Amino acid sequence: MVLERAGLDQAGERLRTGGPAVRMAQRRGSERSQRRVQQLILFDIDGTLLDSRGAGRRALARALCEVVGTAHALAELPLAGRTDPEICRAVLETAGLPPERVAQALPRIFECYPRHLARELQGCPPRVLPGVQALLEALEHTAGAVVGLLTGNVTAGARLKLGAAGLAHRFRFGAYGEEAPDRQGLLEVALGRAARTLGRQPAPSQVVVLGDTPRDVACARAGGARAVAVATGPYDLVALRACEPDHLFADLRETARVLAALCNGSAAAGQPGAGAEP
């Protein structure tokens, strides 16, 4: 009976773990899955995926006023391409707060910011930008394409904006504003997260950063990734073309051309500036 019971236990263990043959097949399947990852596409949010109609700026202003009593410098500060912590730090330093007070205030600001942002988004939902839904749908059905986020929004802000726009389910992972000192540092965060999610870190040639500002292009360049720019944010085609992205589009409505630029950089997407208005 003891031997019989031991045999049953061993059989049960094989069922639970799959046995050596099954485990080997699973490893091979995982390796094949990793090899099929041909392109990691990292999207910015504001100005690229959606227009939050100023909700983020208004919510940051309310959070700043709640914590430190002022948001005066925010009205004049260019936000595009900066991380949320960078923006708030600049406002606080402009207001004359010493470094130790800035360090104390930032966590408190981002504790109350989501509450203000949720209220702003409820009153004025974000607008999904032209071509975004169709492009994300096409990417879901593109073999080897993995879609993530690289955004200056803090995590809670990104989730609220994408949730209000109905886009949150489209992205497997992200790198968020509080996770690095600047946008270029966020690319390293995104690649590390991709490695944990996919089982290996994609090569730079397999990574695309898609955004609407010169900072997005600089981020891609610094990490050896390809840069695809879209002029649906505050920067027009002329300003973005001067940054020399690999591909430039007026918007994301030409799904086939944008998809080609993202997934293989083929001639179908043209040279830098293809898909852009004359």
Query: What pLDDT score does 266 carry?
Result: 44
Same domain assignment for residues 80 and 162: no
Residue 187 belongs to domain spanning: 37-51+127-269
The letter for the amino acid at 20 is P
Q: What are the residues facing 46 on neighbouring strands?
A: 50
The CB density around residue 190, as the number of other CB atoms within 10 Å, is: 28
Same domain assignment for residues 246 and 217: yes
**Residue that the structure tokens 């104390």 belong to:** 104
The domain tally of the chain equals 2
Residue 225 lies in a domain: yes
Query: What pLDDT score does 81 carry?
Result: 84
Same domain assignment for residues 149 and 161: yes
Q: What is the mean pLDDT of each run of 10 residues along the chain (278 residues)?
A: 41 44 44 61 98 95 93 82 92 92 96 98 96 97 95 97 97 96 92 91 93 97 96 97 98 97 61 45
Query: What pLDDT score does 64 carry?
Result: 94
Query: What pLDDT score does 20 carry?
Result: 54
Residue 11 lies in a domain: no
Query: What pLDDT score does 271 carry?
Result: 40
**Do the Cβ atoms of 46 and 57 come closer than 8 Å?**
no
Query: What pLDDT score does 71 carry?
Result: 87
Query: What pLDDT score does 230 carry?
Result: 98
Among 101, 123, 145, the domain boundary falls at 123
Query: What pLDDT score does 277 carry?
Result: 42
Same domain assignment for residues 44 and 147: yes
Rg (CA), the chain: 22
Same domain assignment for residues 192 and 64: no
Same domain assignment for residues 195 and 143: yes
The whole model's pTM is what? 0.83
Q: In CATH, what number is assigned to the domain containing residue 218? A: 3.40.50.1000
Same domain assignment for residues 79 and 175: no
The C-alpha atoms of residue 277 and residue 58 are separated, in whole angstroms, by: 32
Same domain assignment for residues 110 and 152: no
Query: What pLDDT score does 166 carry?
Result: 97
Same domain assignment for residues 178 and 194: yes
The C-alpha atoms of residue 265 and residue 227 are separated, in whole angstroms, by: 10
